[in-house]
Structure 1
Amino acid sequence: MDIKVPRGTQDILPSDSGKWQIVEELIRETCSLFQYKEIRTPIFEHTELFTRSVGDTTDIVQKEMYTFQDRGDRSLTLRPEGTASTVRAYVEHKMFGYADQPVKLYYMGPMFRYERQQAGRYRQFVQFGIEAIGSADPAIDAEVISLAMSVYQKAGLKNLKLVINSLGDTESRVAHKEALVNHFEPHIKEFCTDCQNRLQKNPLRILDCKVDRNNPLMASAPSLADFLNDESATYFEKVKEYLTILNIPFVVDPNLVRGLDYYNHTAFEIMSTAEGLGAITTLAGGGRYNGLVEELGGPESPGIGFAMSIERLLLALEAEDNNWATLSMLDVYVISMGEAAKKKAVELTNVFRQNNITSEMDYLDRKIKTQMKSADRMKAKFVLIIGDDELEKESVMLKNLSNGEQQLIPLNKLVEQVKNSITAWVEEEK
């Protein structure tokens, strides 16, 4: 039997899971600063939720969803993205009635799309996203973008590019849709089957086609910017003004089209310009979705959000040769020599853990040289050496593995001095 991990998925091994935990903690801390609260929704939902919200002309719905019939003959789908589930929960639990508006939520968990595996892109992937529902203020658009940028900047990414566009309101999009149909219809047979099917229902999706991206008609297609009514144009100008106030540089790209049907007004993507990231440079994307809450049975509640792939974030850190997420997580490795010293090592390891000092020790009765190698592999900040001499003096030897400095510490002052040494170590690493 040759059973391996399914194509498009991955095992995150202990050597890498620490990076994930550090990034996830940074995300949670950032959301707390911005006052976004976590929401956790089911991994599968009724299929109709995604066909109604994401759009039945999108690649996600047409080609990428994992859909199945359960034993009750109900059509269920593993969630391909997080916004639809979050908005469904917002409506179902009447969060529009909360006293504090907008309702500011974040989620983080696995999503599923059947697509070709590429660097940093999997069929099961972990997505972090936020949704701010209940406000049509362009200032919250800027806040949402600011939160996304903050996560990347706190993680240490330098080569970032923010691209924004306005998709306009319903009136603007209807006028643009008519112009697109008139533009593409005489030559639609030159395009792929998907584009032909989208012509009448959602011609904006044609502009996002990967197959026909080089067709000359793409470059000459009517620009949505030319069809923005005064209200939409004013809204977009305010978003840009707030981004400028927040000192967030941006580039306006009138051809930016998000891949989901529920977007309107502000749309944006954050890209990496670092070399070595590969053909796909987008790290995060999002936008405003006024009307989605109503589509799912709720009252008028405008919203905006974004989603980012944790895999892509880690890949971008690697492309920039940034080791921020690989700092040592082990404070002390306790090395013992002899039976009496081992008993003391068991005791001290437990004492450290009771005082929130991460610690490890040898359980294979290996020689001191081999134990030192283990400490190096685990990237310990310090090793604590216990032998007969140390026991006799009621002291232990603490060695800094970064600079080789050693100090003999009395057992009755051990925890305090180890904590001080760790604090000094962290400051030097910064």
Structure 2
Amino acid sequence: MAINIKRPNGTEDVLPKDVYKWHTIEKIARDTAESFGFSEIRIPTFENTDLFLRSVGETTDVVQKEMYTVKAKETEFTLRPEGTAGTIRAMLQNGLLNEALPQKVYYILSCFRHERPQAGRLREFHQFGLEMAGSAAPTADAEVISLAKNLLDRLGLKNIELHINSIGCPTCRAEYHKALKAYFEPHREELCDTCKERLVKNPMRLLDCKSPICKEIGKDAPLIIDYLCDECKEHFESVKKYLTNWSIDYIVDPKIVRGLDYYTKTVFEFITNEIGAQGTVCAGGRYDGLIEQLGGQHVPALGFATGIERLLLVMDKQGCDYLTPKKCDIYFATMGDAALEKAMELTKGLREYGYCAEYDLMGRGIKPQMKYANKIGAVYTLVLGDNELQEGKAKLKEMESGKETEILLNDKFTANFENEFFNKVLDVMDAEGSPMFAFTGEDK
């Protein structure tokens, strides 16, 4: 009986022909974060479930519907649905918050949510994110937003709008909750079952409901920006001023509340209309109470995350450039055992210098070997046979142009690569660091 095993629904395979796109985003993300003084952190794929109940919020869709939770004997674990909670836990547990502040870390990781799979929304997805802990100043908000904008610009994205809002602090939010309850209470029976519970426990979550009925009811709900206390108003005005000073365009969007409970004050989203309903490509904000909520001292913090799959959708849609994928620098096509051994010797030396060098592993004839070299995009090929070994020279072919150059195969091969072949092959690097081959002697 044939077995047909496929990947789980809501996951994707990243094939070798596409992985260079991921490498592009990961490299640019790392370079951007590090240019702002952030360092990489790596955290476990799963955490104690209580971490997410405390941080993300029991009334959120993530906790109520989307988390992957397993029990191992008497312990309950959850695959991380997002990166912030685990990162803050790691900073607390490892004493980073006792060191010089602000602490600035970034991560690239996979996350897991049991959602209905669609373009830009998977059950296993990947994020680049960062967290800054220690600064309550609005300059920190502007700095993090600026970093996100800088990343999107470096990736080449166009037509991305920055939407910002303030959702206040616990003081002003208490008054806002009263206003929301008063607004939604007459519609209680029309609300979905989840929102009926939210109306009691956390009415702001009603504004994030995906039900069309609840969305329609909430379209004229009170706005948090009208209930901000003086301190939160001043903070938000300063953030806007700094963004304006840096020529970062933004739209104040009073309906942004974000989907996780730990946010306070500034929240923001970078949005595109080019990938359908899943238009948010980067989102974040401030969460000044989260560290204290997880057992630490009061330390203000903020951050953002961007979905790599979402970025890929937009970059492909807009025709953005990617880093050139690594190709085979030189392929040795061989005829006979002696030529194969020579090719193995030469490849070993080239690889130690960081070049991608290959030779035949399939026992093919010379024509199939050349076809294979063409398929893998080899920059150069070198044919070795009895004649080449006997004469001590061979022709190096540049595949794109067809240009051939004769080189000498010196028998005095040493570990220092001082023979004529390696002196010539390793002589020149192009401006971008890609291997090039330079030779003395006449071109044939």
TM over 0.5: yes
Structure 1 position 134, deviation (Å): 0.8
How far does residue 354 in structure 1 lie from its aligned partner after superposition? 0.5
Tell me the number of residue pairs that the alignment of Structure 1 and Structure 2 aligns: 425
- Structure 1 unmatched ranges of 5 or more: none
Ranges in structure 2 where 5+ consecutive residues have no aligned partner: 410-418, 436-444
C-alpha separation between the residues in 2 aligned to 1:416 and 1:331? 16
Opposite residue 259 of structure 1, the aligned amino acid is G
The answer to whether the 8 Å contact 2:49/2:69 transfers is yes
Structure 1 residue aligned with 2:248: 248
Report the CA distance between 1:41 and its aligned residue.
1.9
In structure 2, the CA distance between the partners of 1:414 and 1:29, relative to structure 1 (3 Å rule), is farther
Can you list the C-alpha shifts for 1:13-72, whole angstroms capped at 9, x where unaligned?
33333433343233333332222122222222111111111000000000001112221x
Whole-angstrom CA distance in 1 between matches of 2:196 and 2:70: 27
Which shifted more, 207-216 or 111-120?
207-216
Q: Which residue of structure 2 aligns with residue 227 of structure 1?
A: 227
Change in Cα spacing, 1:68 to 1:328, as seen in structure 2 (3 Å) is closer
Matches within 5 A, 1:126-145: 126-145=126-145
Shift of 1:410: 4.3
Matching of residues 255-294 of structure 1 within 5 Å: 255-274=255-274, 277-294=275-292
Distance (Å, rounded) in 1 between the aligned partners of 2:426 and 2:269: 43
Which runs of structure 1 show a deviation greater than 6 angstroms over 4 or more consecutive aligned residues?
A: 425-428
State the match for 2:295 in structure 1.
Answer: 297
Alignment of structure 1 residues 83-162 onto 2, 5 Å: 83-98=84-99, 100-162=100-162
Whether the 8 Å contact between 1:156 and 1:324 is mirrored in structure 2 is no
Higher helix proportion, which one?
A: 1
- Equivalent in the alignment of 1:423: 430
Q: Taking every aligned residue pair, what percent have the same amino acid on both sides?
A: 46
Distance, in Å, in 1 between the alignment partners of 2:60 and 2:71 is 21
Amino acid paired to 1:19: K
Q: Give 2:162's aligned amino acid.
A: L
Query: In structure 1, what is the Cα distance between the partners aligned to 2:208 and 2:346?
Result: 60
Equivalent-residue separation in structure 2 for 1:185 and 1:165 (angstroms): 25
SS in 2 for 1:14: coil
Query: After superposition, what is the alpha-carbon deviation per residue over 1:361-403, rounded to whole angstroms, capped at 9, x for unaligned?
Result: 2212324443333233323333344445554564443433444
Query: Which one of 15, 22, 25 corresponds to residue 23 of structure 1?
Result: 25
Q: How does 1:2-401 map to 2 (within 5 A)?
A: 2-71=4-73, 73-98=74-99, 100-212=100-212, 215-274=215-274, 277-325=275-323, 327-388=325-386, 390-391=388-389, 394-401=392-399
Partners in 1 of 2:26 and 2:196 — Cα distance?
42
CA 1:323/1:363 → structure 2, altered by over 3 Å: closer, same or farther?
A: farther
Q: Post-superposition shift, 1:426?
A: 6.7
Say if 1:213 and 1:287 are closer, same or farther in 2 by CA, change over 3 A. Answer: farther
Contact 1:66/1:113 (8 A) holds in 2: yes
- Specify whether residues 270 and 389 from structure 1 end up closer, same or farther in structure 2 by C-alpha distance, changes over 3 A only: farther
Partner of 2:413: none
Distance of 1:129 and 1:304 partners within structure 2: 11
Describe the SS at the equivalent of 2:78: strand
Report the secondary structure of 1:184's partner residue. Answer: helix
Q: Which has the larger radius of gyration?
A: 2
SS of residue in 1 equivalent to 2:316: helix
Tell me how large the CA RMSD over aligned residues is: 2.6
Structure 1 residue 313: Cα displacement: 2.0
Structure-to-structure mapping, 1:404-423, within 5 angstroms:
404-411=402-409, 412-415=419-422, 417-419=424-426, 423=430
Is the deviation greater in 369-378 or in 416-425? Answer: 416-425
Q: Are residues 368 and 116 of structure 1, via their aligned partners in 2, closer, same or farther at CA, if it must alter by over 3 Å?
A: same
3-state SS in 2 of match to 1:324:
coil
* SS state at 1:15 partner: coil
What amino acid does structure 2 have at the position aligned with 1:354?
A: E
TM-score (norm 2): 0.87
Change (3 A) 1:388 1:156: farther
User: C-alpha distance in 2, partners of 1:240/1:338?
Assistant: 72
